[in-house]
Amino acid sequence: MSKARQLADLGNAYSDGGISGSNLIINGSMQCFQRATAATTMTNTYGAVDRFRGFSNGGGAFTGEKYDMTTSEIAATGQYQALKMLVSTADTSIAASEYYSLNYRFEGDDLQQLKYGSSSAQSFTVSFWVKSDTTGTYFLTVDKLANGQTAYRIPIEYTISSADTWEQKIITVSPTAGSTSLITSSAGAIGGGTGHGLSLYWGFAWGTDYHGTNNTWSTSYGTNATANNWMGTVGNDFYLTGVQLEIGDTSTPFEHRSYADQLQACQRYYSQIAQGAGVCTTTGTNLYLSVKLPVRVRAVPSVSQTGAMTVNDGSANLTQSSASINSYNEGGTLDSLFVSLNNFSGLTANRPVVVRQNTGKSITADAEL
């Protein structure tokens, strides 16, 4: 095969989205909804979908849920799922200190190739598919966190032109946007290590305390011009999928990954475990359990339960009277959990137990940013 033929084949693979590793967003295709698929509050917290969270401060509220694309929507976007968000409590008057947004958080180490904090700082390009019944001007904000330096932000406006119609938006973020040198100065470096280094916000409303200038680096999150108050009416919707962030000033076709790959990437930040094995203690009311986590997690996770769980000790099934769990992660391991499940009665002392398959009831491990 000639070199020319190989280059042509490579070009075709590129055009078809076959070049892997370019997308720095995890779950941009909205494939993973570990917490829930039905409508779940996202008001200033993680909700149904993995890696994307609500970031808000105010009296309004919104939910997120899994949305299955129709055949024609798949044909238009190349995506089979999306995050569907709905306003559940309206906020018609945004106070100066209030804000509402969808937030994606990066570990600082994952973005060092941007070379922020130096004259070699790189541009990056964010692309995404969006659909809403509320047309108008929105903005995407990039937030470079301080982490011992200075926090800098840049809001960049985009327009949703047609109601209830999928539109792809492509936004390139220059390190010197607005003819600034904040990002190329030493204070512009991305820190945080495996902690929170940089954020993206899809803004729904930002109070005047946070208003800055479109496409200009400063310390402000939002803009003041024509941005919509998407939070103004109950039932307003906002759909998002196909989110990609890549180094450089060019948007390339979406990098599709398998569900298995995406799930593993998400489990660095959050996972649910429904089965395990352990041993009863002498009290008869609690048992100790060691659980291998699916992947090495970002930080020692917080643990909780999604409901009371059932165990079997070889002679009987026993169920917690209510969910109760303690974490004893000695040594700060990132690969496993050591927990006690509490609130049992009738456990036989020192007898081994297995945690049964508990449909819809799991131990959760949360190491999110």
Partner 1 sequence: MDKMNITSAQYVNYLGDTACINATIDGITMSVPFDPANRHYSEIMRQVEAGDLVIQEAE
**Position 45 contacts partner 1 (CB under 8 A):** yes
Binding window for partner 1 (CB under 8 A); candidates: 20-28, 159-167, 307-315, 321-329: 321-329
Neighbours of 12 (CB within 10 A): 10
Task: Please select the residue that binds partner 1; options are 303, 309, 311, 353, rule is CB under 8 A.
Answer: 303
Q: Write the CA distances from 360 to 251, 268, 300, 303, integer angstroms.
A: 39, 21, 24, 16
- Those residues whose C-beta lies under 8 Å from the C-beta of residue 327, and which sit 6 or more positions away, are 301, 302, 303, 337, 338, 339
Q: Which residue from 98, 246, 255, 368 is in contact with partner 1, where contact means CB under 8 A?
A: 368
Q: Which of 111, 190, 291, 367 binds partner 1 (CB under 8 A)?
A: 367
Nearest CA-CA partner of 322 in 354, 361, 351, 349: 361
Site for partner 1 in 66-125 (CB under 8 A): 99
Stretch that binds partner 1, among 63-71, 124-132, 164-172, 323-331 (CB under 8 A): 323-331
Q: How many CB atoms lie within 10 A of CB 67?
A: 19
Q: Choose between 113 and 326: whose C-beta lies nearer to partner 1.
A: 326
Q: Which two tokens stand for residue 7?
A: 């280059």
Q: Is 273 in the site for partner 1 (CB under 8 A)?
A: no
Residue 325 or 355: which CB sits closer to partner 1? 325
Structure tokens at 39: 């409508």
Q: Compute CA distances 239 → 23, 39, 70, 168, 322, whole Å.
A: 20, 13, 13, 12, 36
Q: Which one of 17, 195, 284, 307 is in contact with partner 1 (CB under 8 A)? A: 195
User: Cα-flanking dihedrals φ and ψ of residue 318, to 5°?
Assistant: -130, 135
Residues 100 and 59: beta-carbon distance below 8 Å: no
Stretch binding partner 1 (CB under 8 A), from 87-95, 166-174, 225-233, 300-308: 300-308
Q: Does the protein bind partner 1 through residue 299 (CB under 8 A)?
A: yes
- Determine, following the binding rule CB under 8 A, whether residue 336 of this chain makes contact with partner 1: no
Q: How many residues bind partner 1 (CB under 8 A)?
A: 29
- Taking CB under 8 A as the binding criterion, the range among 164-172, 273-281, 328-336, 346-354 that sits at the site for partner 1 is 328-336
Q: How far is the CB of 35 from partner 1 (least distance, A)?
A: 11
326 binds partner 1 (CB under 8 A): yes
Q: Does 309 bind partner 1 (CB under 8 A)?
A: no
Binding mask 149-168 for partner 1 (x = CB under 8 A): --------------------
Residue 327's alpha-carbon distances to 194, 270, 315, 342, in angstroms, are: 22, 15, 27, 11
* Residue 289, helix vs strand vs coil: strand
- Where b means 16+ CB within 10 Å and e means fewer, 242-257 reads bbbbbeeeebbbbbbb
Interacting residues with partner 1 (CB under 8 A): 44-45, 55, 57, 99, 194-196, 298-304, 323-330, 332, 339, 366-369
